[in-house]
Amino acid sequence: MSLKHAILVLLETEPSSGYDLLKQFNNSLGYFWNAKHQQIYQQLKLLSAENLIEYKLEEQHGKPDRKVYKITKSGVAELSSWLNNSVKPNKINDALLVKIYGGHLTDADNLLAELENHLHLHQKVLLQLKQIEQKYLNLTEELKEKYKLPYITLRRGILGEEAWLTWADEAINMIKK
């Protein structure tokens, strides 16, 4: 389980609320990690109980108060020690491929429509990632050096999405033919 460490890594960069983390995962970092809001809030609670993170309340009127979490010294220690262990290759469970594999039980139009849907989503994501990349590329050399590692992960997102789109194109043509 490394939702825990995904959260620690983000908090190590910048203090955030659960909601902020959620948005990061949903928007920019979806190529990286995904989680529902409940999972994040639960995990923050646990991390808090373990003293790996701590929070300050930011009072608001009407809305629930924001809990802004930051990583503690022992949080950094935990993260560092986790980083010294090796990680497992990530697990792929791709329902779209299941659907295509068994696609002879349905009609080609269904498959094509599904592919087109996913295509639009992936195109949108790729665009977003490329916009983030542009911002990075416009930074000074110094800042580029500073954010090099996150940028490498962004490149994974971009190359991954591009490959996905290449495949989808091929797939659509093969199904149409």
Residues contributing to the site for DNA (CB under 7 A): 1, 3, 17-20, 23, 35-39, 41-45, 60-68, 91, 93
What part of residues 113-172 is at the interface with a second copy (CB under 8 A)? 114, 117-118, 121-122, 148-153, 155-156, 159-160, 162-164, 166-167, 170-171
- What are the b/e assignments for 135-164, b being 16+ CB within 10 Å? ebeeeeeeeeeeeeebbeebeebbeebeeb
- Contact residue for a second copy among 14, 45, 98, 131 (CB under 8 A): 98
**26 belongs to the binding site for a second copy (CB under 8 A):** no
| Residue placing its CB nearer to a second copy in the complex, 64 or 101 | 101
Q: How far is the CB of 63 from a second copy (least distance, A)?
A: 29
User: How large is the angle between the packed helices 3-13 and 18-26, nearest 10 degrees?
Assistant: 100
CB of 30 to a second copy, least distance (A): 7
Cα–Cα distance for residue pair 127/89, rounded to 1 Å: 26
The beta strand positions in the chain, using DSSP E, are 53-58, 66-71
Q: Which stretch binds a second copy (CB under 8 A): 28-36, 53-61, 62-70, 129-137?
A: 28-36
Which of 118, 119, 130 has the alpha carbon at shortest distance from 157? 130
Q: Which does 112 bind (CB under 5 to 8 A by kind): DNA, a second copy, none?
A: none
Measured CA to CA, the distance from residue 116 to residue 165 in angstroms comes to 10
